[in-house]
Structure formats: structure tokens, C-alpha cells
Amino acid sequence: EWEYAARGGRCSQGYLYAGSDKLKQVGWYTENSGSETKEVGLLLPNELGLYDMSGNVWEWCEDDWHDNYQGAPEHGTAWVDAPERGASRVDRGGGYFHGASRCRCAARGRNAPVYRYGNLGFRLAASFQAVG
């Protein structure tokens, strides 16, 4: 789900980063962040109107870490090894202190669920029904 949203969903233009092939237009990273996080929405959004999906801070995802996508759910739901959760969870998006390669839509990182630091957050999201 995270990567689908970062790539722009059905509106995707196939960009390397969330909304552009030029990271400086859409994300905060080592070359433009001044080594600090930034307020959300100062750069351009992606095709779905989502800001800062590339760079700024890593975002926790519900998925347990797997070395590759073999056996991943095909319907986009979280890949969870319940009831025995894995030792690491996936984080996506890259951060203000990383180079451009870590901010690509396809890049993934991992951390233990107990990891806490100012370079990692989460994005609130909810499903909605269009009216009309």
C-alpha cells in the first residue's frame, strides 16, 4: 500500500521519486535538508496529492521485514507473519540525512519495533467513500 501511494496509484507517471524524477522538487534529503526535518508540504506533492513520501523522515509500515517479495500478498494488504511477528518492520521513504537512492519509491529499510529516533515516523491514513 505504501509504495502504491508513493508512486501515485492509478495516476502514476512512473517517477523514480514520489511525484518527480528530480528529488529536490519533492523530497528533503542530504543535498537540500540542512540536516534537519522540514514542515510537511513545502515541496511538490505526488500525483495523489501526498506530500513528503520521498525523504524528510522514514515512515513505519505495518509489514514485517522479508528479504524479497516472494510470497507477498497480491492484494496490497500488509505482509504480517502473525501470530509470530518478525523481528523487524519495514520503513519506507528515506530521510533528510540520506542520499537520493534511499528516497526512491522502491527503497526499503528495516528496524526493530522498539527503535525510536527523530528520523522515523508514521503517516496517518484512512479509507474514505466518495460522495456523489
What domains can you pick out in the chain, each with its CATH number?
A: 1-125 (3.90.1580.10)
What's the confidence (pLDDT) of residue 90? 95
Cβ proximity of 98 and 29 under 8 Å = yes
Show the cell assigned to 30: 542530504
Q: How far is CA 106 from the centre of its chain?
A: 9
pLDDT digits (tens, 9 = 90+) for 75-96: 888 899 867 777 899 999 999 9
Residue 50 in this model has a pLDDT that exceeds 80: yes
pLDDT of residue 65: 93
CA angle 49–51–53, rounded 5-degree value: 115
Q: What pTM did the predictor assign?
A: 0.86
Contact between 114 and 40 (Cβ < 8 Å): no
Report yes or no: 32 and 15 within 8 Å, Cβ to Cβ. Answer: no
